[in-house]
Structure 1
Amino acid sequence: MPKPAARHQDGSLSDLFAQHVVRRPDAPALTHGSVTLTYRQLDRVTNSLAIRLRDRGVRPGRLVAILADRGIGVVLGMLATVKAGGAYVALDPAQPAARLRLILQESEPVALLTEADADDPSGLGIPVLTAAAHLGQGVRDDAALDVRTDGGAGPEDLAYVVYTSGSTGTPKGICTTHRNVVLRTRDADYLTFEAGDRVAQISNAAFDAATVEVWGALLNGGELIGFDRDTILSPGRLASALRERRIDTVVMATPLFNQLAGDDPATFATVSQILVGGDVLAVDQANAVAALPGCHLVNGYGPAECTTIATAHRVRPMPADQVRVPIGEPVSHTTCYVLDDELRPVPAGETGQLHVGGAGVASGYLGRPDLTKERFLPDPFAAGPGARMYATGDLVRVLPDGSLDFLGRADFQVKIRGFRVETNEVDAALLRHPGIREAVTVAGTDARSGDRTLLSYYVGAGEETPDTAGLRAFLRDRLPDYMIPARLTRLPELPKNANMKIDRERLPAPEAPAAPADPAGADTMDDEIAALMGGLLDVPGVGHEENFFEVGGQSMLAIRLLTQVSRRFGADMTLAEFFEDPTVRGIAAHVRGAAASDPVPAGSVPAAGSGDVRP
């Protein structure tokens, strides 16, 4: 399924950004909070930082780690690094320290960029630089910094490395070149990026969707608008922010979109185009948002190995009984093949593994030649020599209209909240506990929300076997939040087949929880909040002092809980506030404090215009 190439774009990311510095020097380029930088100012600030990085030894092929979430320093670090000729590795500060250390050990960055002054958290002796130190007005106004900083990186040089879950228990780094990024974000046919467009930066920088946001804006003369985490995860606040900041383009992980659109489709009423991807798009939510006047909704698909996106489908109204939203057709500069186990094309309508070729295919895995050879294959269908295709491991079929229908995985990989998870990595983390003898993790589905979840089964090792709370705490020190299993089930033995391999088909279904308390029948506010929490967690009788995250809670469930609390009690609570005391007691104290400062009758909801809660 080849897609005709759009107009060819050459040059590095730094080259193409420099074009807009010349064309639109006084146009806004980057806004985070109260700070707005024009293209000229952003050029000067990142030239200043790039000079420091060059002094630290950054050159083509050398890496710079960026340890930040969504702040302005992330974008400064990305642009300054490529100007210096190097490649960036964005890291999520919320990830466990042990996991960050593994990544830093493998990637061996020349420097570590942080938002504020800090020591190297890995203990590896990596020099730490602060991006914000270059944001002063003196730097922005310094005409001496108008001389371009060019580190010598070309189209085929490394631009960034993004880490994803690894089946061996160790994250793997995907190496993406300047050409990969340019041909995904210039003359894109899945979204329209034009000079002056306002693009939201919603994705965590460690998630490859940030590639489309950041470079889609800066390589096309747009303005990148940063959003803080609490705004992103609150439907009312997000709707107000999208409207007030006049956002044209939003890129969002599918699970978050499903939740926000399910709560209130009008959250996206003022946005021109939305790209969602990373998981299965809910038909009802897609229909509701696609019906908004002037809203262009795109269901995207693409592994990070193919530079964020490989196929796209413009969503139009679908029958309510349609099972899935198609993932569409190849985007520009991309080819897609549906092949059998012998790499032969399968007939339309039959199931095969999706292989992606074209200019978006990354160069491979950092320091993993064997794994690169296994997944990045010679493309036998390409016209020119040396072409490669990526074996995605995803099962698809071609629909009668030529679009692709995503059917699932061919291996033990699963998407959880938009993140790719190798269940073997969860198993490896479990087996690091001295009290665990055997472990296996499979994908499940939450009966209430329909979201994919992880279910882990384990066999203990006698007296050292941990209790559930202890095992969760152990995993939280080693795995990111989205990889923590929703259920941990202890078994005397794991079922085996005749070859003594674990038989996943014979794993018992998790025990059905007792019915949670009915919030309407609660005697006190605390009891009612406990009933709401228990209903989300499938845990009856949640104690008022129990930590939400220690009894199976995760951040996406926390968003649902706070939305329900807001609707019931009229008190808006951010995730950051919830994290301070994630208990029934903590929520109740917040609700009472909000009522004392601004009384709102229980059960009422502030007006939509307030920007707090949408009805």
Structure 2
Amino acid sequence: MPQSEVTIEGADTATLAPSDRDRSLCDLFAEHVARRPDAPAVTYGPVTLTYRQLDRVTDSLASRLRELGVGTDRLVTILADRSLGVPVGMLATVKAGGAYLALDPAQPTTRLRTILEEAGPVALLTEAGEDDPSGLGIPVVPVAAHLEAAERDGAEHDVRLHTGGDPEDLAYVVYTSGSTGTPKGICVTHRNVVQRTRNVDYLTFAPGDRVAQVSNAAFDAATIEVWGAFLNGAELVGFDRDTLLSPGRLGPALRERHIDTMVIPTPLFNQLAADDPSTFATVSQILVGGDVMGVSQANSVAALPGCTLLNGYGPAECTTLATAHRVTPLPAGTLRVPVGRPISHTTCYVLDDEMRPQPAGVPGQLFIGGDGVARGYLGRPELTEERFLPDPFAQEPGARMYATGDLVCALPDGSLDFLGRSDFQVKIRGFRVELSEVDATLLQHPGVREAVTIADADTQSGDKTLVSYYAGAGAASPQTDDLKAFLRDRLPEYMVPSRLICLPELPKNSNMKVDRAQLPSPAVSSPPADDDAGAAAPETLEDEITAIIGRLLDVPSFGREENFFEGGGQSMLAIRLLTQVGRRYGVTMTLADFFEDPTARGIARYIRAAGPSASAAPADEAVAQPGEGRP
């Protein structure tokens, strides 16, 4: 069969110079230290390090890691988020010959311990503290000690410690949700990272460019940000979480910091673009990925002059990205934004259940080949063998392809249309979630005998949320609030269901398997919200705020002192809430302000402290639907 019927090709792999393909991250970074030693390499807050200074501090830290036994394929955990210690730790670890494992310190301790027990890191990097939060006795190395002036400016550190390494050496491990109830680690090599960030055709990285670092360190999008900058002589510019998630602050920050390139998760992009597309007006190129891009949001940002918008797709098993689509204004009636064509050094195959290529327009499972295919799963050879397969279409001996489990079809122009998952894996706010892992965690509670989780569409935004149904074990059956607290202690926030629905028994089909089609709709599992509630004029500022929250969460009532997050809210909804509050009352309340007291009472207190703008308003403004309000 002709290859055009078998594969959708990315750019020719020959565009990556052989000398680059066979070199390590350390080698390529060293080139820019030699070429532009005094050019800025990384900026976080008031601190900027030049390429020479970054080289010195990471050599200092790498020396310490080597003393602890870090070497080829040995792991170093980075327990930090959105701080200078993250890129410094990444670079220092690969200089020491090891591989980094970035973990979100906000994850539950039990989950962190599970990951660390499996990964067995040699050392744990923190910002400044010296305590091992896992209790496993892992040596802790504070990064701050290696960022002092003596390390930054001392010529004695101008000694290259790294020897280059092999391109197939491990560069990092990233953990994602696992179907067995245990997260799984994906092993990514130097070659994988190099082919995603050097001489690529989806973004332009050039010396002097400013690349925003906004991704959570545990999210694989950080690969594009950090190494896209460091391997191309650009400057990495850090953004704190509060700036990223607070309405009205991100746009000015992007403009003031002269950001050229930005990678942003789809759910956040959809929300920011819907609220104010001009947030991105000064950014030259924006890569969005992790979920389904909204068509109207895509059109509004694609229309900005001088802005290139890309819709990207790719599993972590293929080093963050596999396809990209340059978005142009889409015609009316368009249902989805395509995920595009394979990027450079990548091949994509649309195959049926018999591994036969599917013609354009016919759905099939997507298989991805090329230099981005990761080594496999950490310590799980059977799972690696199941998902990482020999590539029967490749010319290179030993080439492999990854079975994504995603359904796609090829469009007439050769780009790919993403149709959804072929199993029970979903994306929630850009993070990959195995629904069965949520189920398995629910079943760990002694009062739960059955559980099943689905992805439901939020009634207001259309964003996916998790809804779990469970059957209790008699008198031991937990209350939903207690069960949600149980889950928060064991799962990251994005995996905790927004709704928990208790049933006497889960519906079964004739094979005695849970019949998902017979589960009651989340919308009718509890009394529906009263659309006329709040039509009367609220009596106090607190009443106005509770009415706004009730509409946002689609609940019939919400208490003045009820915790927003315990009532079903999450960070994306919090952004929408603060956007509406800002428009209605003329205040700029950040997420950090909101977290201090995430209640209607807390918001009202903040508004009163901000000034006299919290005057009474017409009732229809006070209960405006999400997305409405004064411009």
Please indicate the TM-score interval, normalised by the length of the shorter structure: over 0.9
**CA distances 1:217-258 after superposition (whole Å, capped 9, x unpaired):** 010000000000011012311000100010000000000000
CA distance in 2, matches of 1:603, 1:162: 49
Match of 2:548 in 1: 532
Q: Tell me the residue number matched to 1:116.
A: 128
Q: CA deviation at 1:37?
A: 0.4
Partner Cα distance (1:260, 1:520) in 2 = 31
TM alignment of 1:311-330, pairs within 5 A: 311-330=323-342
Contact residue 455 and residue 487 of structure 1 kept, 8 A: yes
Instruction: Using the TM superposition, name which of 149-158 and 464-473 deviates more.
Output: 149-158
Could you tell me how far 1:459 is from its partner in structure 2? 0.3
Amino acid at match of 2:234: G
Residue of structure 1 in register with 2:474 after alignment: 462
Match of 2:82 among 67, 70, 73: 70
Distance in 2 of aligned mates of 1:214 and 1:614 = 38
Contact 1:534-1:541 at 8 Å conserved across structures = yes
Shift of residue 454, structure 1, vs aligned partner: 1.1
* RMSD (Å) for aligned C-alpha atoms: 1.5
Instruction: Give the counterpart of 1:7 among 2, 13, 16.
Output: 16
Return the offset for 1:320.
Answer: 2.6
Q: Give, in angstroms, the shift of residue 152 of structure 1.
A: 5.3
Give the partner amino acid of 2:591: L
Matches within 5 A, 1:126-275: 126-150=138-162, 153-275=165-287
Which residue of the partner structure matches residue 487 of structure 1?
499
TM-superposed deviation, 1:614: 11
SS of 1:188's partner is: coil
Bigger CA drift: 1-10 or 97-106?
Answer: 1-10
Please say if residues 608 and 614 of structure 2, whose CA atoms lie closer than 8 Å, have aligned partners that are also in contact: no
Report what 1:589 is aligned to.
Answer: 605
Determine the C-alpha separation between the residues in 1 that align with 2:337 and 2:610. 41
The structure 2 residue matched to 1:561, chosen from 577, 585, 598, is 577
Mapped contact 1:569–1:602 kept (Cα < 8 A): no
Separation (CA, whole Å) in 2 of partners of 1:520 and 1:279: 39
Check 1:312–1:614 CA distance in 2 against 1; reply closer, same or farther (3 A cut). Answer: farther
Q: TM-score, structure 2 length as denominator?
A: 0.94
**Deviation for aligned residue 1:182:** 0.3
- Cα deviation, 1:350-404, whole Å, max 9, x if unaligned, reads 0000000000000000001011011001100011211100000000000011100
Partners of 1:361 and 1:47 in 2: how far apart?
A: 29
Superposition TM-score, scaled by structure 1 size: 0.96
Q: Distance in 1 between matches of 2:589 and 2:426?
A: 31
* Distance (whole Å) between structure 1 residues aligned to residue 487 and residue 165 of structure 2: 40
Q: Is the 8 A contact 1:569 1:603 kept in 2?
A: no
Give the superposition deviation at 1:511.
Answer: 3.5
1:492 CA drift (Å):
1.1
Q: 1:23-60 deviations in whole A, cap 9, x for unaligned?
A: 00000000000000000000001111010101111001
Q: 1:601 offset after TM fit, Å? A: 6.3
Instruction: Give the aligned partner of residue 401 of structure 2.
Output: 389
- Name which of 338, 353, 357 aligns with 1:345: 357
Within 1, Cα distance between the matches of 2:379 and 2:517? 35
For the residue of structure 1 that corresponds to 2:248, the secondary structure is helix
Q: Is the 8 A contact 2:529 2:555 kept in 1?
A: yes
1:278 aligns with 2:278: no
Say which SS state the counterpart of residue 548 (structure 1) adopts.
coil
Go from structure 1 to structure 2 and tell me whether the alpha carbon gap of 1:77 and 1:115 turns closer, same or farther (over 3 Å shift). same
For 2:262, the aligned partner's letter is V
Deviations 1:448-471 (A, max 9, x none): 101011111100111111111111
Q: Which residue of 1 aligns with 2:519?
A: 507
CA apart distance, 1:7? 2.6
Letter in 2 for 1:551: G
Deviation at 1:602, TM superposition (A): 7.0
Q: Given residue 357 of structure 2, which amino acid in structure 1 is its aligned partner?
A: P
Distance in 1 (CA, whole Å) between partners of 2:461 and 2:535 is: 18
For the pair 1:100 / 2:112, whether they are aligned, the reply is yes
Aligned to 1:155, what secondary structure does the other structure show? Answer: coil
Q: Percent of pairs identical after alignment?
A: 72
Following superposition, the deviation at residue 430 of structure 1 comes to 0.5
Task: Give the gaps of 5 or more residues in structure 1.
Answer: 605-612
Structure 1 contact 284–320 (Cα < 8 Å) conserved: no
Unaligned runs of 5+ in 2: 1-7, 619-628
Task: Report Cα offsets for 1:292-337 as digits up to 9, x if no partner.
Answer: 0000000000000000000000000101310000000000010000
For 1:449, give the aligned amino acid. Answer: S
Counterpart Cα distance in 1 of 2:630 and 2:557: 30
Q: State the secondary structure of the residue aligned to 2:137.
A: coil
Q: Identify the match of residue 576 of structure 1 among 586, 592, 609.
A: 592
Secondary structure at the counterpart of residue 129 of structure 1:
strand
Give 1:348 shift: 1.1
| Structure 2 counterpart of 1:355 | 367
> Counterpart in 1 of 2:560?
544
The aligned runs of 1:287-436 (5 Å cut-off) are: 287-436=299-448
Label 1:30 to 1:482 Cα distance change in 2 as closer, same or farther (>3 A). Answer: same
Taking the aligned partners of 1:602 and 1:250, their CA distance within structure 2 comes to 40
Contact 1:253 1:276 in 2 (8 A): yes
Q: Is contact 2:290-2:430 (8 Å) kept?
A: yes
